A and B are shown apart, each in its own frame.
Chain A
Amino acid sequence: MSETTSKSIREDLTQRDELSLYTRIANNPRPFFKWAVPMLVLIAVEFPTYAGVAFGMLDAVVIGVTGLLDAAIGLVSSGLSQTIRDAQYAVVGVLRDAGGFVDGLPTLFSREVIPNQGYQTGPNGPWEGTFLGLEPAYAWALRATLIFAYALFTAYWVFRGWLVYRDHYREADWTPTDDIVDNLSNHQWGKFGIFVLILFLTMAVFGSALGPTTVEQNIQSPYSERINYFNEDTGEVDQVFPGDANFNSKSKGSAEFNVGPMSYDDYGRFHPFGTLTNGRDLFTFMMGGARITMIVSALAIGGAALIAAVFSMFSAYYSGRVDLTILTTADGVVSIPRLLLLILVSAVFANHWIGNVLNGGFLLAIIFAFTTWPFLWRAVRGPALQVAQEEWILAAKSYGQQPRTIMRKHMFPYIVGYLLVYASMSTGGIIIGLAALSFLGNGLGISPPTPAWGRAISMGQDYVSGPSWHISLLPGLMIVLLVTGLNALGDGIRDAIDPEAGGSAEGEEAAAGGGG
């Protein structure tokens, strides 16, 4: 039996042009299609949403990068920076057109398919304009539940795709990654972290469909279109601007001026989290804030992790002077007070258009990345130094492997786990930092009227002990939940890559051990 298998391995390896995944799938397509067809359906029903998110991010990246180039090159040659700006307008124009186009496409879980905004035709009359004539609260709850269920199932199905690959198409019957995944799937606390992360990513991606109303209609331009409502005084259906409706739905801390969680205002609008002090819908506000928070913190932590990974490998591989230079630089960066730097940069770029990319979030992401990388670098440098001492690095040098390849193939796989652990834990700090800036306001943080979590907390701080407690508390709890979830995820990954580290205190020591 081993005779035949070994023969076929040799044939596989030497006679086929490429040992590609494609050939392996072609040989045994059933499991792949059983996974891929549902996956395609899952993507297709919400494709415009994903495309919109992708275009939006591309848009921000293009503006951000060209903006930085423009600012840098503008110092040298103004002609060249004009060219860059022209290119930027062209690209962004195309992206916005494409974004506008996909925005018009229908999606399955949209407010058009399951509408929740309607009006009553009489004092106890049926609801007009809502899904199947349901009450707005139920229509909204149905849509939100469906979206969360859809998102969780899609996430599971993506993971399932990896399982299909592992069981049917991977050449190795076992890899070290399998152990990590198995450990993580037995780690309840870590799974909680993943669950929370998926929850908040869902809010970021499907935010506009999740809210009972839209940021556009309720917050950004509330005086552009009227809405219908049942006027109890006149007993007729009237029209009103959402802005005027907001004005009469404020939560101001007294019994008569309060729209609490899970209640309707006088205009038949349902507010799952109640309203803000200016009468806007808190849940819609939070969903809008989720997207900007997730994008900015992802950019910041991604940038910081990238710098930390590259620098820690340089430190460990070259050591000596290179390490000392990075060490000094990192210490220098750490010595700058973060808040002061944020205030300074916000002031300097207050009227520059780069300060408006992502409503000011891009600049914040850069500053957070710049101030966070030294911590990640310190944490990962230890493990990197450890790997650099392994003999396989020496072996790779002995057959003349390039330093770049040595770092990528022989060092990076060993530090990426630690990087994930520390990155997920540091993200909590960045999210709190972002919220703190918005809380302070005065030109700091995300610029209004774009929703930001910290601003909601700041608005409600005078009413914490009254009927309008929800304004500060609910956003606060959401931040706590997200940060706890990220820490849980970090814990889970740490235990998964190093199961021997065991309990929490010990584990932390083991993971941080090399950091010094």
Chain B
Amino acid sequence: MSKTTSRPQSAAQGDEVLVDVTDLKKFYGGEGFFAGPPVKAVNGVDFTIKRGETLGLVGESGCGKSTLGRTLLQLETPTEGSITFDGTDVTTLSGSDLKEWRRNAQMVFQDPESSLNDRMTVGEIIREPLDAHDWKTKQERRERVLDLLSAVGLRDEHYFRYPHQFSGGQRQRVGIARALALEPEFLVLDEPVSALDVSVQAKIISLLEDLQEEFNLTYLFIAHDLSVVRHICDRVAVMYLGKIMELGETEELFQDPSNPYTKSLISAIPRPDPTDTTRRITLPGTPPSPRDAPEGCPFATRCPAKIRPEEYTHLDEDVWDGIERFREVIRERSRMDLGVTGLARRGVGRFSRFDDLEEAVSDLFEGVDVPEEVRVHIEQAVEYAKKGYPSKAREYLYEEFSSVCDREKPKFYETSGTARYSYCHRHANEYEDVDPVISRRTSDE
């Protein structure tokens, strides 16, 4: 089960790969002398999309999935990495080559209110891509627009209406028609139904499925609604903080997730079965800032199955939880800007802004018997932070309590025979597997 690869490969041979993404990175800012660290929206992503399939991309908001979709379509310039589309590396395209390529890949946007220009008629909106590419004659363009209108379930007389006069679902149909105008092979669907009523969602989803069959389309379906993803996608990629955590066949991934993050995500889906005993895994805290992503596994700060350092394996769950939460608090503090006054006060040894830390510590470890070996380190860290050096405290805690999860980036492990990959140290032979760890740790609560 633990065959490691540097990147996931397409397993099923014979299926033609349409989109091949290699080590894609997209950072914002961070250039120039005074700039802070860059925001790592997409931080090294690998995957392939086969012709005709629907790849789902899920993750909580802010994890970089929309950025990934936009970067795939060259609406953002990638910082690093390559995107191969049908054999050509599109990151190297520019000018008229890029414009020509854009016919192949189109996008459907999340918010139908914002994605259609209210000052143009529906006919003009759908026709614009054709006009931009000088497609055939004017009559043929109009004919094509009418065909598209009927393909997405709208009527001919809607040609002269304005987007104002439509409902959200109808507007989204217009957006889909526009995306299809240039007969693309590949569509990025950026949360196409999340702004719609549930009853309308189903209609749009089935429309998308019909269109895929009719025009032999390949979809990248970005969503945070897991049930929709489970319904429409062939494979799913789960994203967290700019990284793909797990990738695999939809049904299998939902039935038996490998990665701790996927497990917690899927455990959060409400189940209508009252006899169901699966425990919901609640993640502590919030995702770290993408400016200050952990150096090892991105999920290390919240992972319910995090590997502990050798010397602390004997600690109680509660103590260890307290340590992790305390590290989180210190990380927060180290991101704070102390300001000129803060720095001045620190200089003369009168820094007092972090004096509340002791209280925080006693809250975190309330009712927990903290062994001496841990207590000294915590106190030392509090001391550093109180003097105004939270970064030093953070370093100190890192030195003392970090494990392989904090220090090293995991590899992609193929966790089943059907091309499923998971980004977690636990899949390596030397560590205990994810499932028993989680069930042991959560059962104590």
Contact = CB atoms under 8 A, between A and B. Distances in A.
B129 A399 contact: yes
Contact of B116 (A2, A392, A399, A414): A392
Given A10-B146, A391-B111, A398-B107, A176 B118 contact: yes
Contact of B178 (A9, A17, A395): A395
B162 A400 contact: no
Contact of A400 (B102, B110, B117, B121): B102
A399 B128 contact: yes
Chain B, interface size category, equals 35 or more
Contacts of A14: 139, 142-143, 146
Contacts of A173: 160
A6 B133 contact: no
B156 interface: yes
16 contacts: A9-B157, A10-B146, A14-B139, A14-B142, A14-B146, A172-B162, A176-B119, A391-B114, A392-B117, A398-B107, A399-B102, A399-B128, A400-B102, A409-B120, A409-B128, A413-B117
Nearest to B70: A394
Contacts of B175: 395
Given A176-B118, A391-B115, A402 B132 contact: yes
Interface string B95-114: 00011101100110111001
A171 B157 CA distance: 10
A399 B114 contact: no
Contacts of B155: 2, 6
B132 A405 contact: yes
Interface string B113-153: 01111111100000011001100001100110110000000
Interface hub of A17, A172, A174, A396 (most chain B Cβ within 10 A): A172
Given A13-B159, A391-B109, A395-B109, A172 B121 contact: yes
A400 B161 contact: no
B419 to A, nearest CB: 30
Interface in A1-29: 2, 5-7, 9-10, 13-19
Given A399-B128, A400-B99, A413 B133 contact: no
Given A14-B142, A413-B119, A6 B129 contact: no
Nearest to B123: A13
A171 B160 contact: yes
Contacts of B146: 9-10, 13-14
Interface string A422-436: 000000000000000
Interface hub of A399, A401, A413, A414 (most chain B Cβ within 10 A): A399
B102 A398 contact: yes
Contacts of B109: 391, 394-395
A6 B75 contact: no
Chain A, interface size category, equals 35 or more
A65 to B, nearest CB: 33
Nearest first, the 9 closest Cβ-Cβ pairs linking A and B are: A400-B99, A399-B129, A6-B156, A391-B115, A13-B142, A400-B102, A413-B119, A172-B160, A391-B114
Contacts, number: 107
A395 B115 contact: yes
Contacts of A395: 107, 109, 115, 175, 178
Interface string B75-100: 10000000000000000000000111
B117 A174 contact: no
A397 interface: yes
B133 A399 contact: yes
Contacts of A10: 143, 146, 156
B375 interface: no
A410 interface: yes
Given A10-B143, A14-B143, A17-B139, 16 more contacts: A5-B156, A6-B156, A6-B157, A13-B139, A14-B146, A18-B138, A172-B121, A172-B161, A173-B160, A174-B162, A390-B117, A392-B115, A398-B73, A398-B107, A399-B178, A413-B117
A17 B145 CA distance: 17
A399 B157 contact: no
Contacts of B156: 5-7, 9-10
Given A176-B164, A400-B102, A9 B115 contact: no
A5 B142 CA distance: 16
Nearest to B110: A391
Contacts of A397: 75
A14 B111 CA distance: 31
A272 B233 CA distance: 83
A175 interface: yes
Contacts of B100: 400
B116 to A, nearest CB: 6
Nearest to A15: B139
B114 A400 contact: no
Contacts of B434: none
A174 B119 contact: no
Contacts of B182: 399
B330 to A, nearest CB: 36
B372 to A, nearest CB: 56
Contacts of A399: 102-103, 106, 128-129, 132-133, 178, 181-182
B13 interface: no
Contacts of B120: 409
A150 B111 CA distance: 51
A394 B128 CA distance: 13
A10 to B, nearest CB: 6
Nearest to A7: B156
A9 B159 contact: yes
A410 B125 CA distance: 10
A405 B133 CA distance: 12
Interface string A314-334: 000000000000000000000
Contacts of B161: 172, 174
Contacts of B275: none
Nearest to A9: B156
A18 B138 CA distance: 8
Contacts of B278: none
A390 B114 contact: yes
B114 A176 contact: no
Contacts of A2: 155, 157
A390 B102 CA distance: 20
A15 B175 CA distance: 26
